[in-house]
Amino acid sequence: MDKLQDILNEITATLATREERGKPADYIPPLAHVSPQHFGIAVALNEGGLFTAGEADLPFSIQSISKVFTLTLALGMYGDALWRRVGREPSGSAFNSIVLLEQEKGIPRNPFINPGALVVADALLAHARAPRETIGEILRFLRFVSDDETISADPLVARAEKATGFRNAALANYLHSWGNLMNPPDHVLGVYFHHCAVTMSCAQLARAGGFLANAGRNPVTGRSVISSVRARRINALMMTCGHYDGSGDFAYRVGIPGKSGVGGGILAIVPGVASVAVWSPGLNANGNSLLGSEALEMLSHRMGWSVF
Ligand code: DON
């Protein structure tokens, strides 16, 4: 796979010269200080081998990418019953929008917008009963899927999100008022902020997504994580909802399932082939990594990886 390594090197070199790099998220104070000059990419192939370029080993805040893993965990606990509390449709609005929640009586459009992820956090909490226990369970799951015991959450980021997360607090309280949170909003927010505050590198994230690329089974350890049907469905949700109001554009340009985070990371899945993680902290207007999207567009084009 010399060709893949060459392509990753070329993409990294091309993007290094870009002046327009987007703007790092500034509503979470520790993220505002991360330089938009960073760039890393990692590709974990199902057939074996991890290919990287740039700062692929530098940990960053995975933010909303964590929602793929909390959804996977919650589906394992509740199965299809989870869909009574959260939908599976793109929202066509911002990740932190409250607008549809009133029209749709407290049922969030999908598990990746903030209100949907809060419902998923509530479901996980109801299963484990204490925020600390739930956060531990999420971290254990991330360590299991990535086969890496070092993965953890950054308490500074979690604390900063709690201190500034008035919009998320509003969403949690609003969900509670519709009867779609079983636990105190404070507890749900605690779980949510901690899973958003997990730090991982592109290399760790690409490995962690391996089970989604490989029909539910970790391609390195061979351990089964979820069924192939469920992996396919999670990929479908990533494709339709993973980039919020930019999901259509991502599908058009990149053509593979992807989930972004405001830390500037994107996890993208090439079903049957590879799990890809990219990181560049500058965001576009929809809150998705500007250069990360561009890197994936180039990679998918050069490798013929679009599913369409
Ligand atoms: O709740 C928030 O606003 C952040 N913890 C996560 C948002 C996010 O990553 C949206 N993705 N692009």
How many angstroms separate the CA atoms of 268 and 234, rounded? 12
Ligand 1, pocket residues at CB < 6 Å: 63-64, 95-96, 114, 161, 168, 196, 260-262, 287-288
How many angstroms separate the CA atoms of 44 and 112, rounded? 23
Q: Where are the beta strands (DSSP E) in the chain?
A: 40-45, 50-54, 60-61, 152-153, 198-200, 258-260, 265-270, 274-279
3-state secondary structure of 260: strand
What is the per-residue pLDDT for 129? 75
How many angstroms separate the CA atoms of 111 and 198, rounded? 18
For the chain, what is the radius of gyration of the CA atoms?
18
**From 262, 270, 273, 278, active-site residue:** 262
Ligand 1 atom showing the smallest separation from residue 95 Cα? 10
Cβ neighbours of 136 (radius 10 Å): 13
The torsion of the CA quartet 237, 304, 17, 1, rounded to 10 degrees, works out to 110
**CATH level 2 (architecture), domain 65-198:** 3-Layer(aba) Sandwich (3.40)
How many angstroms separate the CA atoms of 79 and 223, rounded? 20
Q: What predicted TM-score, i.e. pTM, was given to this entire model?
A: 0.98
Confidence of residue 154 (pLDDT cuts 50, 70, 90): very high
Task: Assess contact for 255 and 308: CB atoms under 8 A.
Answer: yes
pLDDT for 291 beyond 80? yes
Confidence of residue 2 (pLDDT cuts 50, 70, 90): confident
Residue range 260-283: mean pLDDT, rounded: 98
CATH class of the domain defined by 2-63+199-303:
alpha beta
Query: Which residue from 264, 272, 273, 140 is spatially nearest to 202, judged by alpha carbons?
Result: 264
Provide the greatest CA pair distance for the chain: 56
Q: Of 114, 192, 200, which is best to mutate to test ligand 1, by the most ligand atoms within 8 angstroms of its C-beta? A: 114
How many angstroms separate the CA atoms of 41 and 53, rounded? 5
The answer to whether domain 2-63+199-303 and domain 65-198 are alike in fold is yes
What is the per-residue pLDDT for 55? 98
Q: Where are the domains of the chain?
A: 2-63+199-303, 65-198
Ligand 1 atom showing the smallest separation from residue 96 Cα? 3
